[in-house]
Structure 1
Amino acid sequence: MAKAKQKKEKSFFPYIKWFWILFGSGVLFVILIFLLASWGAFGTMPTFERLENPETNLATEFISSDGETLGKLYLNDNRTPIAYQNLPENLVNALVATEDARYYDHSGIDARGTVRALAFLGTKGGASTISQQLAKQLFTGQAARGWQRYTQKIKEWVIATRLERNYTKEEIVAMYLNIYDFGYAADGIRSAARIYFGKEPSDLKIEESAVLVGMLKNSSLYNPIRREELVLNRRNTVLGQMAKYDYITQEEKDSLQKLKMDINFNPESHKEGLATYFRMYLQRFLKNWVDENPKLDGEKYNIYLDGLKVYTTVDSRMQKNAEDAVEAHMKNLQTEFFHQNTPDRNKTAPFLDLETSEIDIIMERAMKNSPRWKTMEREGISEKEIRNSFLEKTEMTVFDWNSNSYEKDTILTPMDSIRYYKTFLRTAMMSMEPQTGHVKAWVGGVDYKHFQYDNVIQGARQAGSTFKPFVYAAAIDQLRYSPCDSLPDNQYCIEPLKHGNIEAWCPKNSDGKYSGENLTLKSALANSVNTVTAQLIDKVGPGSVVAIAKNMGLTRDILEVPAIALGTPELNVYEMVGAYGTFANQGVYVKPVMVTRIEDKNGTVLFEYTPETKDVLSKDVAYATVNLMEGVTQYGSGGRLRHSFAKNQTVYKEIITGYPYELTNPIAGKTGTTQNQSDGWFMGMVPNLVTGVWVGGEDRAIHFNRLAYGQGASMALPIWAMYMKKNYENEELGVSKEAFEEPENLSINVDCTKVLQDLKDDLDTEDDLKDLGF
């Protein structure tokens, strides 16, 4: 019996021995495979340094002064990473429940899931952990095929275990969500939350988090914009997983699964969103900055890939108010412009007062300056072929105020489209805090996608009467005039050869009339009386006016001739706002500031701005000039800011539809209108905010045929008024309603109460109001 038992044990021993040999060999083989993978036998493996600092393309982010993202700058990856603590708990729970239920229990490889996947050949779910998915996203890329797929999987396992050693579970979750491409330029969870739901990740609801986690399976297939029903089912699957692992109750699951998907699609692109013109200015600013400020190793920062954070002065709320005001007014103004330029009213529309030959010259220049011409020219196409292409009809999408999203599809020749776009009025608006120079709002046009020329800083147009305050300031500064001093409203001529003029200069008032009365400077500026302004520049000389204007930030060439008193210099809104800020800031010029700080992706400060200031005027002179401009809004051409005429004066109904604004706080300002109503300006100030607005056509021959519509008070002032009304509705913005601060021991008399009261008492008829510019 004992011998039989011993013989039986001997017969089984070889099997046991070979089992352990095979088992051990298998284990050693697996170890060898992993070692070979780690040594790079199956392809390059990431170094320790790369594991510590994985490379991803990061978008540059523009941040407003109130902490909102204005937009981003990127080539392919619109990615802005966020820390784990900024992820909502429900998002992390949805991720773990759906993608890796035992995430917190393994070290990169889920053994149980792997065995299950091998046993059932993947039919009952895969075994890829969150760490492995991150490894694939970071280091191995898209799934390979054939034998390479197996070697890639091994590499992912190795990298996953290394990631688990180098990072915490929380960091891995954040990295994975930050790197995933959710489609529609939604690179990473922050972009995805903003683009698909219009909010930051921390504000995502459970059902919204479930949508985004569901997209992780395949963001192209499970995309809510393209396949709503499929994504809804996938979202409900995620909610089911959350209930299965007790992250939510069954009751919550049932309730949430009944909800519709509330997608709030907000595509992020360089041509759409808030502050588009300002963001393009920032792009140019950054390109110049990186050229002058290389990295420590001498390389240039890449503004599209290096994840810079640019902190700006613009307030997102005020920017929105500005864009809303521009949109509301320009849409209405354009309607009237179209009305005046129908074929039966203007055969040369949109041009006025031009011969056909002159229009041909303008169109020829526009054609040769177009991107289409320049692109074809670079490609070596002959001029004849290029010209012919401009006469061929083609399908295109054009701007249209009356269509959804302000676009419509049409068929036009490229030449016709050039003329079509010339029918649209352009605008520019900038708003600045005069004490700091911080620019709070910047609108360079009506629609960046279709009108990419930034009229705030790229354009320059004649300033009209908005230049007159510089003349008055020079007179107050050098001759010690006060707002209450008076000069006669008579024809006034400046002799030839005086102040550099070749011929005698005898400017007329806008209505061609002279009252013959003595007018206070306050009244003369309020009503843009040209004869009085001519007398002032004759007394102080054009050189003195130019010197003051230059010290207030106007950098363009200004001829030192008397005619500049009426606004012949071509200036832009950017410099005009900075200059007017000197008046509001008690004579101290502060150069406009748009960027306060730049940081790299790690938060290291690379740039901090230093204010540029200059003492230009004394406090008394600055205050007296502001006092003069207050008259413009009290009883001059800016008076419609305060008064209503619609109730009993129908003659003005057509130009004040939607008025009055009825602003009651102290406001200083100046309207401006150039020859033939080609340009309309309004510069408006309260103690802590200076805002400039310009409106006009692309060419000076594109303008209204009547002063009622073509003056600055009709074209530009309404934008300022609507913007300020919206600002005042939000008390958090802190826009001042107080009076301008009067200097102590003011040496210039500004109390013209009796004179002004006498004038106001006379203004009780429609004709009087019309004479004042209403």
Structure 2
Amino acid sequence: MKFTLKSKWLKRLLYTIALGFSALALFWFSVYIGLWGTLPSEEHIKDIKHAEASLLLDAENELLGKYFIFDRQIVTYEDLPKHLVDALVATEDSRFYDHNGVDYTSLLRVFFKSILMHDNSSGGGSTISQQLVKNIYGREHHGWFTMPVNKVKEMILAKRFENLYSKQDIIVLYLNTVPFSENVFGIESASQRFFSAKTKNLSLAQSATLVGTLKAPHGYNPRLFPERSQLRRDVVLQQMEKHDYIDNALKKETSDTSLETEYRKFSHIDGVAPYFREKIRLEVKGLLDSLNATNKTSYDLYKDGLKIHTTLDITMQRYAENAMQQHMKIVQKQFENAYGKNAPWLKNKTLITNKIKSLPLYKTLQRQKWSDKAIMDSLNVTSKFTGFSWEDDAVLEGSIIDSMIHNLKFLNTGFVAVDPQTGAIKAYVGGIDFEHFKYDHVSVSKRQVGSTFKPIVYTTALEYGIDPCAYYPVKEITYTNQKNWTPTNGGNQETDRYLNYSLEKALSESVNTIAVKVLEDVGIDAVISQARKMGITSVLPEVPSLALGTAEMSMLELIGAYTSFANEGYVSKPFYITKIADKFGTIIYERATTETLPEAFSKETRQLMVEMMKSTINTGTARRIRTQYGLQNDLAGKTGTTQNNKDGWFVGVSPKLVMLSWVGNDDHRIGFSNTTIGQGANSALPTVALFLKQMNADQKFNTITKAKFEMPSEEVLNALACAAEKRDGFLKRMFKKDQKEREFDTVSEDDKKKKKRGLFGFLKKKEKDNK
């Protein structure tokens, strides 16, 4: 009887086991044939494509930033340090080199220890190959069957991967796809993020730290939880010792070091050159749209791992950002202190009201037929907001209107540096802080350029044959046919009605009254024509105030014109992208050599203008670059200040680099309270000076900072050999009519043709007079 019962229970047991195996086999088969979702074929696995971050590179192939949906960069096996691979295998899959995708020994261990004995120390049963499948294809939801279906899928596909790829290939695929902390995908992006290093340069400690985070990417984030991450790193080192990848001495030496990160986040608002990166993003999207339409391609900036090569120099960019931040902190304090309690953003009710009504939310509520009172009540609701500060961003409490007023007080800025021989942009600072002020002041904003336009007027004069030693009276004139307009000179400039300046003195001291008189002599049309030759395309007002820079243009346009003074009279149009390659290195776009513009002015005019603008630096309005900052670079330049001190400008011209800085408030109605603070020499020049000081201290840039302008010709030197100023003599004062009013002379085309004899005209005249 007992035997019969035993036989009965044995049969039931065997039947149950057989049924279980049959069910498992059937379940496995159902997954295999795709009843739970089609499995990728071998052909698909051979042609795996990963979304890959596009890289933005500087002129020396240094990484400036990335464009991505998932932050991923691809590396090869040769880029992987041996200790990184060893750490991964020791920690995640110690039998990696012994199995073919599925480690049945580990699976049995997990089954008995974890499931039957409830021992959580047994670890997981997934191999690196199985984890790779999960990284690439993710996991689908199937209700109660989610886990078993996905596990079987991963086992089937892991074997396919092992059949198609070598162990090295699988390691590379895994490390290029595995997710790390903070939405970072792949070992290269993680190395850059947490240690500012390329994968191939990772130390043993760094490799162990990153491998350690794979167990729980957020929980072991080395930035957020350094102590916890260090403990996990040491566990990885113990595993490496256990499996004979390192000895005890190396394990102990590495474990005794404290965890040190060098965090570098590539985001659209942080990091180096954010305004430049946004400019390139918009530019490249347009280029790709055009390429895709023309070539029937489908390049995607955020997924295709493109390499975008630019002209920027990352070191110069950092110097520019440092200089901007150092100076803007100071000038912002001057700006606020000068206004005190009477600041327009506090007291000017009309300004504040108009600003409120321009808010997007105000306009939205207005379109929804809200009353003015209801709108204002809504905008006055108090909440917390992050406000920009030159110290540290602070969490402030206030309404939307309070936030608006807070931002309204800040001065903004732009800085750009260009190689004048090529037009390549080397540094680009579009504003004070991209997170809070996204408006780009280098290429988008257009402001009145003030006295930085005067060199174009004087270039026109020299081209039209006016002697650089021609003297013009400083005194003010009222132009009765220009609504009684009276140009005045700023600051402490002379108003002596008997004093006369040469062109060089007038330019170096930025004398408004003389600039208008020179414009009158050559004619507005002639000056506009000369501006066009120098690459200016913006609308130029055909009025006498053009001489004082009432024209509005972008910084890129203005600096392009100034490149001609350091480039033999030829304009170099600023540019920033050199080429774009796909992830395989194939060039898909390369900047075409642009057609060279005709010579904008003669060699002699260029030499004269450089010498005259050198005087601006040495003795004129920009002399603080010598006296305050002690810079001895060979420099020419020009300061600029617009009406009511709304804009401050400075252009620095060296033989190998042209630099332009602007400072002002984004709201045109708010200017500096006085010229002492608002003049370009105080508001804009220091950024260029501080930038150059850093470059001077860096031997890498000696070819730029120690470059010299060529010696002017003897004729040019002779043309400038005159006293800078002179006063009318007694007899001239007695018999000369003291003209205080006149009509502005609009020179006709015929008169201009008669007047124009060119620079060689007055040089030959001088030579004849000397004989």
Give the shorter-chain TM-score range.
0.7 to 0.9
- Residue 110 of structure 1: aligned partner: 103
What is the letter of the counterpart of residue 355 of structure 2?
A: A
What is the letter of the counterpart of residue 260 of structure 1?
A: S
Offset at residue 632 of structure 1 (A): 0.7
Residues 183-212 of structure 1 deviation map (CA, whole Å, 9 limit, x = unaligned): 223222222222222222222221111111
Change (3 A) 1:200 1:327: same
Residues 311 and 577 in structure 2, CA contact (< 8 A), matched pair in contact too: yes
SS, match of residue 735 in structure 1: helix
- Residue 436 of structure 1: aligned partner: 422
Taking the TM superposition and a 5 Å limit, the aligned residue runs for 1:192-207 are 192-207=190-205
Change (3 A) 1:474 1:758: closer
Match of 1:68 among 62, 67, 75: 62
- Residue 384 of structure 2: aligned partner: 395
Offset at residue 636 of structure 1 (A): 0.7
Residues 243-273 of structure 1 deviation map (CA, whole Å, 9 limit, x = unaligned): 1122222011112222221123333321111
SS, match of residue 597 in structure 1: strand
- Residue 598 of structure 1: aligned partner: 580
Residues 617 and 626 in structure 2, CA contact (< 8 A), matched pair in contact too: yes
CA distance in 1: counterparts of 2:291 and 2:357, whole angstroms: 36
SS, match of residue 293 in structure 1: helix
- Residue 351 of structure 2: aligned partner: 362
Match of 1:566 among 548, 553, 560: 548
- Residue 678 of structure 1: aligned partner: 646
SS, match of residue 704 in structure 1: coil
What is the letter of the counterpart of residue 509 of structure 1?
A: N
Residues 508-530 of structure 1 deviation map (CA, whole Å, 9 limit, x = unaligned): 22246334334222221111122
Offset at residue 669 of structure 1 (A): 0.4
Residues 416 and 427 in structure 2, CA contact (< 8 A), matched pair in contact too: yes
Match of 1:454 among 431, 437, 440: 440
Change (3 A) 1:327 1:52: same
What is the letter of the counterpart of residue 597 of structure 2?
A: K
Change (3 A) 1:203 1:698: same
Residues 342 and 349 in structure 1, CA contact (< 8 A), matched pair in contact too: no
Offset at residue 300 of structure 1 (A): 4.9
CA distance in 2: counterparts of 1:387 and 1:280, whole angstroms: 34
Residues 645 and 672 in structure 2, CA contact (< 8 A), matched pair in contact too: yes
Change (3 A) 1:632 1:235: same
Taking the TM superposition and a 5 Å limit, the aligned residue runs for 1:242-261 are 242-261=240-259
SS, match of residue 404 in structure 2: helix
What is the letter of the counterpart of residue 59 of structure 1?
A: A
- Residue 539 of structure 1: aligned partner: 521
CA distance in 2: counterparts of 1:714 and 1:61, whole angstroms: 38
| 1:84 maps to 2:70 | no
Residues 480 and 748 in structure 1, CA contact (< 8 A), matched pair in contact too: no
What is the letter of the counterpart of residue 681 of structure 2?
A: A
Residues 341 and 350 in structure 1, CA contact (< 8 A), matched pair in contact too: no
SS, match of residue 309 in structure 2: strand
Number of aligned pairs? 707
Change (3 A) 1:286 1:84: same
- Residue 714 of structure 1: aligned partner: 682
Offset at residue 82 of structure 1 (A): 2.3
Residues 493 and 504 in structure 1, CA contact (< 8 A), matched pair in contact too: no
Percent of aligned pairs with the same residue?
A: 35
Structure 1, unmatched stretches of 5+, are 1-14, 644-659, 760-774
Offset at residue 697 of structure 1 (A): 1.6
SS, match of residue 436 in structure 1: coil
Residues 314 and 594 in structure 1, CA contact (< 8 A), matched pair in contact too: yes
Match of 2:494 among 513, 525, 530: 513
- Residue 315 of structure 1: aligned partner: 313
CA distance in 1: counterparts of 2:159 and 2:370, whole angstroms: 58
What is the letter of the counterpart of residue 626 of structure 2?
A: R
SS, match of residue 342 in structure 1: helix
Change (3 A) 1:326 1:56: same
What is the letter of the counterpart of residue 675 of structure 2?
A: L
Offset at residue 103 of structure 1 (A): 1.9
CA distance in 2: counterparts of 1:624 and 1:311, whole angstroms: 37
CA distance in 2: counterparts of 1:35 and 1:619, whole angstroms: 84
Residues 182 and 218 in structure 2, CA contact (< 8 A), matched pair in contact too: no
Offset at residue 584 of structure 1 (A): 1.1
| 1:552 maps to 2:546 | no
Residues 142-194 of structure 1 deviation map (CA, whole Å, 9 limit, x = unaligned): 78774332221121112112222333322322222222222223222222222
Offset at residue 423 of structure 1 (A): 1.1
Taking the TM superposition and a 5 Å limit, the aligned residue runs for 1:270-669 are 270-294=268-292, 298=296, 300-343=298-341, 346=342, 348-350=343-345, 359-373=348-362, 385-402=374-391, 406-479=392-465, 481-482=467-468, 485-491=469-475, 493=477, 502-503=482-483, 505-510=485-490, 511=492, 513-515=494-496, 516-612=498-594, 613-615=596-598, 616-643=600-627, 660-669=628-637
Residues 471 and 537 in structure 1, CA contact (< 8 A), matched pair in contact too: yes
Residues 541 and 550 in structure 2, CA contact (< 8 A), matched pair in contact too: no
Residues 501 and 724 in structure 2, CA contact (< 8 A), matched pair in contact too: no
What is the letter of the counterpart of residue 444 of structure 1?
A: G
Residues 553-588 of structure 1 deviation map (CA, whole Å, 9 limit, x = unaligned): 322211122211111111221211111112111111
CA distance in 1: counterparts of 2:259 and 2:142, whole angstroms: 34
CA distance in 1: counterparts of 2:604 and 2:439, whole angstroms: 39
Taking structure 1 as the reference length, the TM-score comes to 0.85
Residues 491 and 506 in structure 1, CA contact (< 8 A), matched pair in contact too: no
Change (3 A) 1:253 1:602: same
SS, match of residue 103 in structure 1: coil
CA distance in 1: counterparts of 2:74 and 2:373, whole angstroms: 51
Taking the TM superposition and a 5 Å limit, the aligned residue runs for 1:199-238 are 199-238=197-236
| 1:694 maps to 2:662 | yes
What is the letter of the counterpart of residue 78 of structure 1?
A: D
| 1:265 maps to 2:263 | yes
CA distance in 2: counterparts of 1:378 and 1:204, whole angstroms: 57
CA distance in 2: counterparts of 1:185 and 1:329, whole angstroms: 36
CA distance in 1: counterparts of 2:230 and 2:643, whole angstroms: 61
CA distance in 2: counterparts of 1:128 and 1:185, whole angstroms: 22
Residues 53 and 71 in structure 2, CA contact (< 8 A), matched pair in contact too: yes
What is the letter of the counterpart of residue 548 of structure 1?
A: Q
CA distance in 1: counterparts of 2:52 and 2:28, whole angstroms: 32
- Residue 735 of structure 1: aligned partner: 704
Residues 307 and 601 in structure 1, CA contact (< 8 A), matched pair in contact too: yes
Change (3 A) 1:681 1:295: same
Taking structure 2 as the reference length, the TM-score comes to 0.85
Residues 599 and 606 in structure 1, CA contact (< 8 A), matched pair in contact too: yes
Residues 35-80 of structure 1 deviation map (CA, whole Å, 9 limit, x = unaligned): 65443233221133431233433223211112222112234x1222
- Residue 153 of structure 1: aligned partner: 151
Residues 489-510 of structure 1 deviation map (CA, whole Å, 9 limit, x = unaligned): 243648666xxxx445542222
Residues 534-567 of structure 1 deviation map (CA, whole Å, 9 limit, x = unaligned): 2221121111211222232322211122211111
- Residue 746 of structure 2: aligned partner: none
Offset at residue 434 of structure 1 (A): 1.0
Offset at residue 325 of structure 1 (A): 0.2
What is the letter of the counterpart of residue 392 of structure 1?
A: V
CA distance in 1: counterparts of 2:16 and 2:264, whole angstroms: 59
